[in-house]
Each structure stands twice: as structure tokens, then as C-alpha cells.
Structure 1
Amino acid sequence: MALWYLPGYGLSCGVAFRRARSGHTFMFNLATNLESAAARWPQREGLVFEGRRWTFAELDAEASRVAHGLAAHGVGKGDHVALISPNRPEFITAYFGILKVGAVAVTVSALLRAREIAYQLQHSDSVAMIAYGGADMEIGKAAHDAFRQADTCRRGWFFSATDGLVDGTELFAFDELTAGHSASYLSVATDHDDTAVVLYTSGTTGKPKGAELTHANIIQNVICIARVRPMDPNGGKSLIALPVFHVMAQTCQMHLSIYNGTTSFLVQRFDALKVVRLLLDEGIPGFAGVPTMYRAILDCPDLTDDDHQRLKELFVSVSAGGSALAPELQREFMEKFEAPMTNGYGATETSPASCFPQSIEEVPLGSIGTAGWGIDLAIADDEGRHLPRGEVGELLVRGHCVMKGYYKDPIATADVIRGGWYHSGDLARTDEDGFVYIVGRKKEMIIRGGFNIYPAEVEAVLSEHPDVAMAAVVGVPHDTHGEEVKAYVTALPGRSVSADEVIAWARKEMAAHKYPRLVEVRDSLPLGPTGKVVKRALIEENADHD
């Protein structure tokens, strides 16, 4: 399989591009990421899950069997296939099998309910569904019921299926899809701007929107990250605890690990103690997660002093993303384990990585770094005028990472992509050296008595309180000021804190217009699938109480 020079990008990608018989100049299918790994490192371990190990050649062979099975059932180029699974080996093989036939993988959250899944199946025009049916999760029953509600889906396959999910007429066992098929499949030729994956946004306003990411979007984003995190000559090891149905783990971990020939240790559900034990037992020198995962590791009561020392000796670097990383948490983790901790930025609509540290050296605390290779960033006001360094405005992104658009929603697409720039809705600033800092969400910005207050800034300060573990800040209606600042906090393990104590402390640490007058102490905060605080739920609670 020949490597072809990619015009306009100045390098030969570690992905195979074949001349296509269909008249295309060259073949650009994201499935070749796995195919190239299998060709280059056939006997190297590509995946480890619950003690079982697969080589890259074995993963590609299984993906080829999936492709043959899909093709036999009439699934082909341009068709949409829904993939509903937690972190399981079948997610990876089904994902690449879908891509091999030239179809589009619609990766659906394994935490959704039937009604939510049915909407995505129907809206995405998925003609088939592959889903996890294990007894340890409710997703099998939800996917089964959603399939019945979506008239676009013709067939579905369940792996690890419990009783009642398979009927033998429309819904089948996954093994039936792959059984008897060849371990080799010549991937269908697709163009660089053909859609490879559709991922639905969280739907903070109205119905979720399906972001279309092209083959070029994803592989160039991988190349962009690989320039900063080059391959280990011996392969290296990576642990994936973030959900692979989410864009961060899908691109920045799954695809990047395959591209670099790294062995991925897949974890179905994050548990701080189990993750640390796996890191130590397998000698995995780094970790990537959302801030709540790092908080859980720091607070895990079952970790011994010896565990902490071994982690300190093991970690080379760790990285965070998915939500704002409080500088205090970043400082605490780095001091505890004496390892560099970086924070990056991205969105589903940007494939996702657009801004991250270009090295682990000399990155200011709280910064998300600088623009990645081939990507432009700008800070703009409401009229789209670019602002000078130091001023707060909306973060705009331009470059190879920006999505094709929202599926079947040209109005929403035109609303966020204007003049070639993706308007993120996030407020940011840059310092004198060009490092970028996220200040908050544009729509989350609180206006109290005419003053603009950025929740992320207040949360970062509250996280420095000696007894506070996590903080989430929202705006609530106020008769006089328009909005008031309200904070939800949780206490560190073994400690307690009162609302009055937090308010009194915050009053001394923040300007008068910023500190929260309303504080609610909780045992936990509502978290989304990636561990990010779901502020929408907190805002809705306040609306219900008004």
C-alpha cells in the first residue's frame, strides 16, 4: 500500500492513500489509519481490554469482517450507520468497518435514553445500527426501543446482547454480521471532504445538532497533535478512560494512538482506583482526562503513599481537556506528582483540537496554549472585529479542523461559521506572549448590575478554598441587578464547608461585583458523559424554583 504525498500540506502522512479507480485523484479514507498501522506494525499490540490483547493486524482483520458483513447487507458509500457503545473493543472494529465501506459512522452516546437515541437515529438518516447490549448498562434496552421508533433503520446488530434484544428478523447478534467473512477488505475510495463521522452536540439550546467531520478534518487533526506528541520508537502506551463516542477520545486518543502505533489500554468506565492500578501495573507513563478525573485521583482514599510515590516516578506528563481546568487543581496535581500538566481546548465542531500547548515546557498556569499547526485563532468582539491582546472576546477558529457543517441544518451552520471562522461561543483572551486563556462561555456570561462576570474565573478562585473540591457558577435572575452569581460547591473528602463560609471567603478574594452571594453546598454536581459539569441542569433547577 503506497504512501502518497498530500498536496498543500508539505508532508507525507502516515496514512495510506491509494489511487482510486473511480476517477478520484487519490483515495482519502480515514479507515487507512488502522490499515497503515496493521501494515507497518502487524504484530505490535494495538489494544488491551480487561486483560485481552489484540495486535493491530487483528484489529484490522476484525474491522474488515465488519465491512464485509455491512456490504453484504447493502450498506455502502455515503450511508449512515449508528454506533452506540461504551469503551469496548467492538466500538473500534465496528467504527473502522463502517469507514471501510465508505459509510459514515454516527457515534451516539452510550448514556442516552431511548427517546434521545431515536431522535439521533432518525435525524441522521441512519440505515443501520450497531449497539452494545451488555447487562451492566441500560443502553441495550434503550437502543432496542429507539430502533423500533426510527423508521430509517433497516437492521441492527447487538454485541454482548442480553435476552430480548435480538429477534432474528431485524435485530441480530453482532457475531452474525462478521461470521465467515474474509479478514481482508479493500476500503472504498472517499474524498477528503466526504463526511466520515457525525457526532451530535450536547444540545445546550434546542435539539442536538449533528456535526459532520470529514476524513480530512480528523486525520489532519491527528497529524496536528502528533507533531507535538510524536511516536515512541517502541510504540508506547496510552490509557483511554474518556468515552470514545466523544470527539476528544475518538480523535485525540483512539486515532492518535493508532497513527503513532501506540498500545491503547481501554477502560469501559472510569474508576480512580482501578485506573491508577492499571497505570501502575502496565507502566503507562501518562494520562488524559477531564478535570473531574484528576480531582477523583487526588481525592481517592484507597490510594496509598506507595501508590502516590510510584505514580510520581511513572508520570512523564498528563493532559486535561473537555472543560475548564482550574489553575489551583492544575497546580495541586503537578505538585503532588511532580509531572507537567497541560490543558488543551477544542470542540466537537473543530475535530476537536484547535488550541493546546505546543510543548510541555514553560506553559503558563491556566493557559490552553496556542494554535495548533494549520489553525488560526482570533479574539473578536460581537461585530467580529479582532481584538488586541489582553482584551476579552469570543474565540474564533479557522483551519483544517473546522467541521463541514451541521447535518441537514444550513441555518445553524451559517450561524456558527461566518467568513470561514468558526464562532466558538467561548470567551477568551491572550497574554503578551500569545498564550490563550478561556474566560467562560459567551452565553454563560453573567451580567450583574452592568458588570460582566465570567463563571470560569469565579470557579477558579472558589477552587482555591481549602475545603472546596469542585465549584460550578451560574447566573440566576435578580430583581435589581438583572442577574446574581450563584455557586454550587462540593467539599473535599473528610472535610466540610458551609455556604456562609464560602461567601465570606469569596468576598475577601474577589471584587465586590464578582463574588457569589448565593452558595449551595452539595454532595455532588451533575456530570455529563465526559465528566464535565452539566450547568444546564443547575440553571433549569433554578428556573423551576422561580
Structure 2
Amino acid sequence: MTNLAMNLVHTAAKHGERPAIRLGESELSYQQFEQATQLVAALLQQEGVRPGDRIALMLPNVPHFALLYYGALRLGAIVVPMNPLLKEREVAYHLSDSGARLLFVWTGFEREGEAGAVLADAKTIVVEPASWPGLLAGLAPVAEVHETAENATAVILYTSGTTGKPKGAELTHANIARNVEICADELIFLTETDVLFGGLPLFHVFGQTASLNSAVYAGSCLTLLPKFDPAAALEIVARDSVTVFEGVPTMFTVLAHYPERDRFDTSSLRVCVSGGAALPVEVLSAFEAAYECVVLEGYGLSETSPVVSINRLDKRRAGSIGVPVSGVDVRIVDEASADVSVGEIGELIVRGHNVMKSYWGKPEETSQAIPDGWFRTGDLAKRDDDDFLYIVDRKKDLIIRSGYNVYPREVEEVLYEHPAIAEAAVIAFPHAEYGDEIAAVVAFKPGSSASPEELREFVKQRVAAYKYPRVVEVVEALPKGATGKILKRAITLTTV
């Protein structure tokens, strides 16, 4: 049987008394976790849910997300995780597109959730800690786990929609199960004694695979943080003796420069994992120096379950996304889909057990993304002589100034070298003569500052003349998505 929920059944049988999920002072053991999902499955059955039905979850990082996630999988239903910050029209789109007729929404977010559900003709159940036991009271537990095929869809994850409306990536039970095994057994060597930091959103693929599902597979404890805050994160690391910290670059940036970090005992950390966006080398170095813990940068997408490649504890290079994981093939190709030479830049394409089944209900978009069994990532990359991969930039973020290719990440790496810079994004704006012109938008570390002229000159001294930003704007903070990834599409220049 391939059903991902079997991982919980096996772990509960083996490590039933061990802590599974923690939030603040409350804690669930694996036995309690497993028993609760049996009741959730009964609740879903009572609501008429059958195998293949879509169940939408609009919850932050709380234990109830995990209970609903595994309860739905147990029945063979398909989970549709959603950001609790979505607005009415966005909720309606996700529900309508996926065909979900049941939405579980966390208390405090029900206004937008319920309004969107009405538009999509879906039922809403508000999840609230005080009333939660009453929802499950009197139900007969569903002990059996629905038998699913390997290619049965487990989760529909909606992509960020940077180019048009979001698309739902169908990840199968086999997609996720194999990626979880690789994360736990081959990359971070998880055991039942590990404690994982649960600050990555569980509605996002990184948090689901590398945090929740990997912890369940290994019998590790996942200690949750519903909203990232550096002091709260460090307090959790110290309180729960976190051994594995998984985050996105903005988390590492904030923590590396957090002025009060020495107040917290972080000596329990044995490995950190970064993903979701490119990790600037300066940030990696600063974090490792501050916390004396190795950071492994990896790469993946919603469509690849997500892990494609990662650095290893015994084999890593700063600035690289590592080497492909077991069973995953990658190529770097030109516009004609021909392989480029070592060191040359091309599009990264992926084939393997991790590649999604399809985009939900979108056969044309699926065939464009996977025309020949290879998934087109849209990321520009290169490889070195030892097969380490390096992401250069998003294909669509490429800036062409006077016919010259400018990769924003290269310029951003230089900006991060400046001691005042906490965050940086390099974008293009239209120019009558050059086609594209280059702008940098930056935010400073606490107590630091620099003039736009100084920053422009700093970059100019370190890159070719056509690459440095002609416009530099300073902001309090750069706009970010739910995972903490900087959203370039949300940046508005004020001076051009």
C-alpha cells in the first residue's frame, strides 16, 4: 500500500509514546496523533467525504493542520492546502478550481474563508481549539487506511501564480513518500531523537515534505511556530533542543544578524537546511559563523515534491544547490533543448520519481511543462566539473540591457556583501535606449545605513559596467510571500 498515511500508522506502532507535535506547552504523542486522525477520518466520512474528494485546509502551523492532513489521506481523500491569509476571491478560486466542497478554516480567518466558500458553493468548518473536541465527540474511529495506487493524487499544491492564475500541482502518494524517505534517510539522517523546527508553513510543499511528513516518517518531534519571529524561533530552539532547523533565506538572514541571539542556547542544532529561494553566500557564511552549525542549501519546486538537489554534510559548496538526489536526473539545456557544456548557462529540467503527475484539470499547461518526460523548471542554471549545480536566476527574471544578459542574483550577491544590507532585490524597468535598465531595492540591517550613491558605486566597482544598478531605492522591508520568499512582482519603484 502506498498511502502516505501508513507512515503515521507505522511510527505510532513503533514510537507511540514519543512526542510527535508540539505547540507552546501543548504536546501530542504519536499514539495520540494516530488516534486523532482516526476520529478526523470519521468526521470526514460523516460529511460525506469519499476517496478522491478534495478537502481544503486553510490553517496556520497548528497541530490541527497535521490531524486534518493525515485524517484526509487516511480516507484516500486529496488535501488542498491553502494559505490562511488568502482573500475571498482567492479562496473561491482555489476551491472552485480544485472542486473542493469542504473547507476547514482556522478561527480568525473564517471571514474571508467563509465568503470565498459561499462563492464556490463549498461548506466551511471553522477549526477552533475550544470547540474542536466537540466536533469529534461520539464518532467511531476509522482504524483502516484506504488502499491507494502509487499514482493516486495525495495533495494538490497551488503554485504562486507569478505568471497568471495559480495552477494546482498534483503530487501523488508515491511522489511525496519517496521524497520524504530521501529527506529523512539520505540527506539529514533523521531519527526518533531529532527535534525539527516547524516554522516553515505547512501549507507549502517545503514545510509539508521536509518538516511534517519527514518527522512522521522518522518518528521525530516537530515543534511548531505559527508565525516566524526571530526571538520566538530562537526561544523554541533553546527550549525544545531543536536539532534540525529548516528555513528560507529570509529566516537565515534575520537570524544571522539578530542582535540578541547570544541570549539563547542553540548548541543543540546539528544541521540547518535552506530552500525556497537562493541563499546568498554572505548570509550562509554569517549564519554558520554566528550559530556554529552547517547550512545545507537545496533546491526544489512545488511540482517536484519538492527536493531536486541538495548539498550533503560531506559534500557541499557555498553558493551551490548541491547535486541531484537519488533517482532524480537533471539536465541543463538551451532553447532547442540541447544540453549545454559544463559552466554554460541554460534551463534546468528535471526527470524522476519526484515530478508531479500533472497540473490539476490543465492538460495543455501540463504538456507544456512536461513535453517529453522532463519537467521545465523555468530556472537558469549551470554546473561545474564535479556536477554541483548553481541556480543563476529565474528565466523570466533575466534582464537584457543593451543586448547583454544580466542575472539579478549575481548583482544581489554583491549587494549582500555590503555590511549595511539585510535584504536586496534587483529588477528591471523599461528604458527607451537600453530596453531594460537595472534597479536595486534594498533594506538595511538594524542601525545601519548607506546612501543610494554609495551602494551604486559599491556594486559598480565589483561587476561589469553594464550590470550595476542605475537606480537604488531604500525601503523598510521588501515584500514577501507566505514562505518568506521575496516577491519581486510586488515591488514598485518610486523614482522611475
Shorter-chain TM-score above 0.5 = yes
Aligned mate of 2:283, from 323, 329, 336: 329
Task: Report the counterpart of residue 16 of structure 1 in structure 2.
Answer: none
Shift of the 161–112 alpha-carbon distance from structure 1 to 2, 3 Å rule, reads farther
- Residue by residue, what CA displacement relative to the aligned partner does 1:399-439 show, whole Å, maximum 9, x if unpaired? 00000111111111111112100000000001111100100
1:224 to 169, 182, 186: 182
How far has the Cα of 1:488 moved from its partner? Answer: 0.4
Contact 1:497 1:521 in 2 (8 A): no
Asked if the contact 2:307–2:354 (Cα under 8 Å) also holds between the matched residues in 1, the reply is: yes
| Counterpart Cα distance in 2 of 1:230 and 1:510 | 36
In the alignment, does 2:344 pair up with 1:391?
yes
Residue of structure 1 aligned with 2:241, choices 276, 283, 289: 283
1:67 equivalenced with 2:51 (yes/no): no
Q: Secondary structure at the match of 1:443?
A: helix
Residue type at the aligned position of 1:263: C
Deviations 1:279-321 (A, max 9, x none): 1122112311011111111232333x353xx32x333221111
Describe how 1:79-98 pairs up with structure 2 within 5 A: 79-98=53-72
The 5-angstrom pairing of residues 159-170 of structure 1 reads 159-160=127-128
Aligned to 1:102: 76
* Correspondent of 1:272 among 230, 255, 269: 230
Cα distance per residue 1:448-484 (max 9 Å; x no partner): 0111111111111110011111110111101111001
Corresponding residue of 2:140: 182
Match of 2:85 in 1: 111
The equivalent of 1:157 in structure 2 is: 125
**Structure 1 match to 2:268:** 314
Aligned partner of 2:420 among 467, 474, 498: 467
- Whether the 8 Å contact between 1:201 and 1:208 is mirrored in structure 2 is yes
Q: What is the aligned counterpart of 2:390 among 411, 427, 437? A: 437
Q: What is the distance in 2 between the residues matched to 1:85 and 1:247?
A: 14
Say if 1:159 and 1:175, in contact at 8 Å, map to a contact too: no
**1:287-298 matches, cutoff 5 A:** 287-298=245-256
CA gap of 1:103–1:281, structure 2 versus 1, over 3 A, is same
Matching residue of 1:146: 116
Structure 2 contact 255–287 (Cα < 8 Å) conserved: no
Q: Using the TM superposition, give the Cα deviation of residue 503 of structure 1 relative to its aligned residue in structure 2, in angstroms.
A: 0.4
Contact 1:470 1:490 in 2 (8 A): yes
SS in 2 for 1:126: coil
Contact 1:68 1:185 in 2 (8 A): no
CA distance in 1, matches of 2:275, 2:349: 18
CA distance in 2, matches of 1:232, 1:427: 31
Q: 1:182 offset after TM fit, Å?
A: 3.1
Distance of 1:265 and 1:444 partners within structure 2: 36
Deviation, 1:514, is 0.9
Q: What is the alpha-carbon distance in structure 2 between the residues aligned to residue 458 and residue 381 of structure 1?
A: 23
- Please tell me whether the aligned partners of residues 180 and 213 of structure 2 are also in contact (alpha carbons under 8 angstroms): yes
Q: 1:183 to 1:132 in 2, by over 3 A?
A: same
Aligned-partner residue type, residue 39 of structure 2:
R
Task: State how many pairs are aligned.
Answer: 496
Q: CA deviation at 1:73?
A: 2.0
1:260 maps to which of 218, 221, 229? 218
Separation in structure 1 between the aligned mates of residue 234 and residue 330 of structure 2, nearest angstrom: 36
Aligned in 2, Cα 1:384/1:330: closer, same or farther, shift over 3 Å?
Answer: same
SS in 1 for 2:486: coil
* Structure 1 residues 233 and 449, CA gap change in structure 2 (3 angstroms): closer
Q: CA deviation at 1:225?
A: 1.5
The aligned counterpart of 1:349 is 303
The residue type equivalent to 2:169 in the other structure is: A
CA distance in 1, matches of 2:256, 2:428: 29
Shift of 1:242: 0.8
- Structure 2 letter corresponding to 1:524: A
Residue 338 (structure 1) aligned to one of 284, 292, 297: 292
Residue matched to 2:2: 28
Distance 1:234 1:446 in 2: 47
Structure 1, 241-250 or 139-148: larger mean CA deviation: 139-148
> How far does residue 175 in structure 1 lie from its aligned partner after superposition?
4.3
Please give the root-mean-square deviation of Cα atoms over the aligned residues, in Å.
1.6
Partner amino acid, structure 1, of 2:405: N
Unaligned runs of 5+ in 1: 1-26, 163-172
> Are the equivalent residues in 2 in contact too, given 1:230–1:260 (CA < 8 A)?
no
Runs of 4+ in 1 over 3 A off after TM superposition: 173-177, 229-234
Q: Deviations over 1:480-506 (max 9, x none)?
A: 110011110111110111111110111
Q: Kindly indicate whether residue 160 of structure 2 is the aligned counterpart of residue 202 of structure 1.
A: yes
Q: How far apart in 2 are the matches of 1:231 and 1:454?
A: 35
User: Where do residues 460-539 of structure 1 align in structure 2 (5 Å cutoff)?
Assistant: 460-538=413-491
Select 1:446's aligned residue among 380, 393, 399.
399
Structure 2 length as normaliser, TM-score? 0.97
Partners of 1:224 and 1:374 within 8 A in 2: no
Secondary structure at the counterpart of residue 461 of structure 2: helix
CA distance in 1, matches of 2:399, 2:382: 17
The answer as to whether partners of 1:157 and 1:174 remain within 8 angstroms in 2 is no
Identity %: 38
What SS is found at the alignment partner of 2:397? Answer: coil
Q: Judge which range, 262-271 or 278-287, deviates more.
A: 278-287
Aligned to 2:22: 48
**1:531 partner SS:** coil
Query: What is the rounded CA distance, in whole Å, between the counterparts of 1:462 and 1:101 in structure 2?
Result: 50
The one-character-per-residue Cα deviations of 1:333-361 (angstroms, maximum 9, x if unpaired) are 1122222111100000000001112x213
For the 8 Å contact 1:394–1:427, the answer to whether it is kept is yes
**In the alignment, which residue of structure 2 is the partner of 1:14?**
none
Contact 2:113/2:124, CA 8 A, preserved across alignment? no
Q: Which position in structure 1 is the counterpart of 2:103?
A: 129
CA distance in 2, matches of 1:65, 1:124: 25
> Which residue number in structure 1 is paired with residue 208 of structure 2?
250
Query: Which ranges of structure 2 fall in alignment gaps of 5 or more residues?
Result: none
Once the two structures are TM-superposed, the CA of residue 382 in structure 1 deviates from its matched residue by 1.0
The structural deviation recorded for 1:533 is 0.5
The answer to whether the Cα contact below 8 Å between 2:103 and 2:125 also exists between their aligned partners in 1 is yes
On the 8 A contact 2:425/2:488 being kept in 1, the answer is yes
SS state at 1:523 partner: coil
What CA distance in whole angstroms lies between the structure 1 residues aligned with 2:191 and 2:5?
23
